[in-house]
Amino acid sequence: MNNPYAKNLGDRDPMSVLETTVDRIGELTAGLSTEQLNAPIAPGKWSIHETVAHLADLELVTSARCRWILFEDNPTLIGYEQDPWVNGWRREEETFPETFQRLRVLRNAQIRMFRKCSAADLERPATHGNLGPINLGLLRSLVAGHDLNHLQQLEKLAIE
């Protein structure tokens, strides 16, 4: 399986990326108003708040996927469409602090789980409905590269 986020990750350690993403988002969003957090990044694009909600949703899905890989033999993992999840999330009227806290709690749990994984655990296989054969280590790298993709977007906004 080809990692579409490999170029973002490069030779960086996936764990160090996963361990620093939430704090970096906190730095980039500190002091922003509700209007700034909820304004679309560009026409037809998500807002900062929606992007963080997307990351929290992905963390929830990834947590379940990782546990299926660890606790079942060669499970089949389903894909999901991110836009309907963001659209559904809007109904919840979750504030940015709540969204950010949700991401932090889910990510901290995921980091604890990854820290306890052995090299053999990271090689445990699964079949992803959209991506094909995958293992836990590759899933971890995918999420880290995905984090960097969105962090680059947020950092670009902070410079502008």
Burial class (CB in 10 A: 0-12, 13-18, 19+), 21: buried
Residue 6 to residue 138: CA distance in whole angstroms:
10
Nearest to 135 by CA among 80, 81, 69: 69
User: What does the block give as tokens for 11?
Assistant: 């030779």
Residue 102 to residue 59: CA distance in whole angstroms:
9
Q: Over 61-82, what HEC string results? A: HHHHHHHHHHHCCCCEECCCCH
- Are residues 124 and 69 in contact, defined by beta-carbon separation less than 8 angstroms? yes
The identity of residue 128, as a single letter, is: H
- Tell me the chain's radius of gyration from C-alpha atoms: 16
What is the domain partition of the chain in residue ranges?
A: 6-159
- Are residues 9 and 144 in contact, defined by beta-carbon separation less than 8 angstroms? yes
User: What does the block give as tokens for 21?
Assistant: 């993403």
In CATH, 6-159 is 1.20.120.450: yes
Q: What is the pLDDT along the chain (160 residues), one digit of tens a residue?
A: 667 777 888 899 999 999 999 999 999 999 999 999 999 888 888 899 999 999 999 999 999 999 999 999 999 998 887 878 777 777 778 999 999 999 999 999 999 999 999 999 999 999 998 889 999 999 999 999 999 999 998 888 765 6
pTM of the model: 0.91
